[in-house]
Amino acid sequence: FSGPFTDVVTTNLKLRNPSDRKVCFKVKTTAPRRYCVRPNSGIIDPGSSVIVSVMLQPFDYDPNEKSKHKFMVQTTYAPPNISDMEAVWKEAKPDELMDSKLRCVFEMPNENDKLNDIDASKPAPVLNTSKQDGPMPKPHSVSLNDTETRKLVEECKRLQAEVMKLTDENRHLRDEGLRLRKVAHSDKSGSPTALALRENGFNPLPSLLVVIAAIFIGFFLGKFIL
């Protein structure tokens, strides 16, 4: 059935009898209130055909709703003397009945046109999307630079804290060295403590400065050269 479905839509069903005997037919549907079938029953002569008009009543069409309406054309060979069609169907045995089932399909005539319009308009959104994607790397790179800068600032703060800690330790060691020197001078020149200090040359300041310098050099070389 082709829409629009705001008015009655008629579809013709052609029934042909290929046998050499008369055939009785009857048309049934799963939605009798939605369709009018004319004729809905009758007799087809051998080698002849009959046109059955199926009229769909107006309704609100929903393209997302799948049609569950079905038709069934039931046939049987006609007896020699036919006086009552209803009696023929009531007296017919199940193995004497033949049937063909049909499923209803609803279509809107402009659906294909809409699909063609959508296909024709597809290149335009692609071009617009590619234009919009052009400047996108810039904010992306800015975001990466901001993240790297934050990492560098946090690393500098951490190194500054370590330098302050090492400076305090250096000051403490220097004070301790001065105290030991004073003790050494107060002792006799031949005492074991004085000799040990002179032989070891206890001076922690240069070694700590070398460690601090190495930390800064390694950090900045790693960040800016690599």
Residue 38 has pLDDT above 60, yes or no: yes
Structure tokens at 95: 């193995």
Rounded Cα–Cα distance for residues 97 and 88 (Å): 11
How far is the C-alpha of 78 from the C-alpha of 124, rounded, in Å?
A: 64
Spans of all domains in the chain = 9-103, 148-183
3-state SS, residue 164: helix
User: How far lies 45's CA from each of 25, 78, 167, in Å?
Assistant: 11, 10, 117
Residue predicted with more confidence, 222 or 124: 222
| Distance separating the N- and C-terminal Cα atoms of the chain | 72
pLDDT tens digits for 190-213?
A: 555 545 545 555 555 556 666 676
Q: Taking the complete model, does pTM exceed 0.85, yes or no? A: no
**For 9-103, which CATH class?**
mainly beta
Q: Give residue-wise pLDDT tens across range 104-163.
A: 999 887 655 555 555 555 554 444 444 444 455 444 444 446 677 777 777 777 777 777
